Amino acid sequence: MDLHDLADSLHAAARSVGAEITSPWLYLQLGLILTCAGIAFGTGAAVRSRIEMTSVAMGWPAPLRLFARVLVGSAATATFALLVVLARVVMVTSTWPSRSYLLSVAANLAFAWLIIRLVTSVIRNTFLVRLVSVSAWLVAALSILGQLEPAIDALDSVSVVLGGLRLTPLLVIKLGVLLIVALWLTNIASNFAESRITQSADLTPSIQVLLIKMIRLALMVFAVAVAMSAVGINLSALAIFSGAAGVGIGFGLQKIVANFISGIILLADKSVKPGDLVTIGDSSGRISAMKTRYISVAAGDGREFLIPNEDLVTQKVTNWTYTDKNTLVKVNFATNYDADPRRVCQLAIEIAATAKRAIKGKPPNCILTEFAEAGMKFALTFWIADPDGMDNVKSEVMLSLWDAFKREGIRVPYPVREIRIRGGALPVETTVEVSN
C-alpha cells in the first residue's frame, strides 16, 4: 500500500467517524443505553436486598444453588441486556436497523458477560475467576466488534527468535491460557487421587504422602508438556536453556532442590511420618504435615515449627514413636537422710503403678542413685503407652509423691545456709517508744 492509498483510507475512515458523531441516532442510542443501565442497577440492588439465597435455595443441589447465586448476583447485567434488546426491537420496527447498531453491540456484550459469569461460577479461586472472565469477555468483545482477526494478526506479527523458537505475543497468550486450563484440570485430578489414596488403609501415612507428591509432580510435568506441544513449541528447541537452568539450580535453587530431594528420601526411608512425635534441636512436637520443602511440627501450644527437610536428613532427630510408642518416663527426686530409702522406693513404685497412663504390664522401678551433700537422690522410672503429654504425667506423679511424703513425714531436702561472725558482734539498734 503506497502513501496515496493510505491517505485515502484514513480520509474515508475520518468521514465515517465524522458522520457517525454528527448523527442524532448515536446520541439517542447512548441515552437509551444509559437509561437501561440506571434501571438495571436499581433492579439488581433491589433483587440482592430482597432475595436471601441461604433460605431460598436451602435443600437445592449444590450446582443449582451456585447457579442461582451467580444469577442473583448478575441480576443487573441480565436486566440491562433484556432492556437493551427491547429498546433495539422498538427501534428496528420504527426505523432503519443500522440506526440501532450500538444497541445491538451493547446487548451482545452484556449477554456475553452474563454467560461467562455463569460458566466461570464452577471455579473456586476468586483471582482465577476474574482473570478468566475478563480475558474471555475481551475475546468476545473483539469478536462482536469484528476486530478479532485483525487483533490476532497484529499479535502474531511481532516476534522474537530464540534459537529455533519463534516467540510472539499471540503464542505467549495461547500458552498462558492452555497452562491455566491444564493446571486447573491437573489440580482436580490430583485432588481426586489424593482423596482415594488417603482413604486406603493398606498404605502407611509416609507412603501416602510420597504417592501424592509423585502424582502431583507427574501431572504437572505432563500438563506443561501438553500445553507447550499444543501451541506448536518443540521441546527440543528449549535445549538452549538447559545450561542456564543447570547453573540456576546449582547456585540459586540449591536449597530448594536439596529440600525437595530430602523430602523424597524421608518419605522413602520412613524415618519420620505424619503423626510421629519428634524432637529436632530445640523444637519438639507432633508432625502434622509433610510438604515438598518442609515438615510442619505442631508444638501443642498453638505454635507450628516449619522445619526444612534438609535439617531432618543432616541433623540429629529424636523420633519418640519410630518403632514403638511406649515411652519410659523418668522422675528424679531427693529426700533427707532421716528417711528410710527402702520405704521411699516402695512409696514411689506404688504411686507410679497407680498412675492413670502407666502400662500395667511393665512394673515401675525406683533406685537410689546418689548420697549427695543435701540428701539422698532417687530415680523413678515407669512406662506409658504414648509420649504425648509426658510432662503432665510426670507432674501428676510428682504431686502424688509430695502428698505421700507429707503423710509419711518424709522431708525433701533444701539448702540451708549458716552465717557465723567471728571477732565480735553486730551492733544492734534499740528503738524506745514513749507514750503520753
pLDDT, one tens digit per residue, over 190-246 is 888 888 888 877 676 767 777 887 888 888 888 888 888 887 776 665 555 555 556
260-319: CATH class: mainly beta
Q: 102 or 5: which carries more pLDDT confidence? A: 102
When pLDDT is cut at 50, 70 and 90, the band that residue 4 belongs to is: low
Query: Which 3 state secondary structure label does DSSP give 353?
Result: helix
Domain ranges of the chain: 17-146, 173-233, 260-319, 327-408
Buried-state track 357-395, b at ≥16 Cβ within 10 A, e below 16: bbeeeeebebeeeeeeeebbbbbbbbbbeebbebeebbe
Q: Identify the pLDDT of residue 391.
A: 85
* Residue 28 pLDDT greater than 90, yes or no: no
Q: Identify the pLDDT of residue 434.
A: 44
Q: Identify the pLDDT of residue 420.
A: 72
Residue with cell 482465577: 128
Question: Which of 1.10.1510.10, 3.30.70.100, 3.40.50.2300, 3.40.50.720 would CATH assign to domain 327-408?
Answer: 3.30.70.100
Long-range pairs of 360-364 with CB within 8 A, sequence gap ≥ 24: 362/326
What would the mean pLDDT of 407-416 be, rounded to a whole number?
A: 83
Rounded to whole angstroms, the Cα distance separating 129 from 122 reads 9
What would the mean pLDDT of 46-75 be, rounded to a whole number?
A: 70
Q: Identify the pLDDT of residue 33.
A: 85
Task: Give the angle subtended at the CA of 202 by the CAs of 199 and 206, to the nearest 5°.
Answer: 80
Buried-state track 322-346, b at ≥16 Cβ within 10 A, e below 16: eeeeebebebebbbeeebeeeebbe
Rounded to whole angstroms, the Cα distance separating 2 from 9 reads 11
The CA distances from residue 101 to 15, 18, 105, 219, 395, in Å, are 18, 16, 6, 48, 84
User: Residue 297 in contact with residue 319, Cβ under 8 Å?
Assistant: no
Q: Identify the pLDDT of residue 377.
A: 93
When pLDDT is cut at 50, 70 and 90, the band that residue 279 belongs to is: confident
When pLDDT is cut at 50, 70 and 90, the band that residue 378 belongs to is: very high
When pLDDT is cut at 50, 70 and 90, the band that residue 62 belongs to is: low
User: What is the dihedral angle through the alpha carbons of 78, 79, 82, 86, rounded to the nearest 10 degrees?
Assistant: -170
Q: Identify the pLDDT of residue 253.
A: 63
Q: Output the average pLDDT for the chain.
A: 78
Which of 169-183, 265-279, 331-345 ranks highest by mean pLDDT?
331-345
Q: 4 or 304: which carries more pLDDT confidence? A: 304
Residue 414 dihedral angles phi and psi, to the nearest 5°: -145, 155
- State pLDDT tens for residues 254-277: 777 787 788 878 877 778 888 888
Q: Identify the pLDDT of residue 435.
A: 42
- State pLDDT tens for residues 294-304: 888 888 777 88
What would the mean pLDDT of 52-70 be, rounded to a whole number?
A: 66
> Is it true that 260-319 and 327-408 share their CATH fold?
no
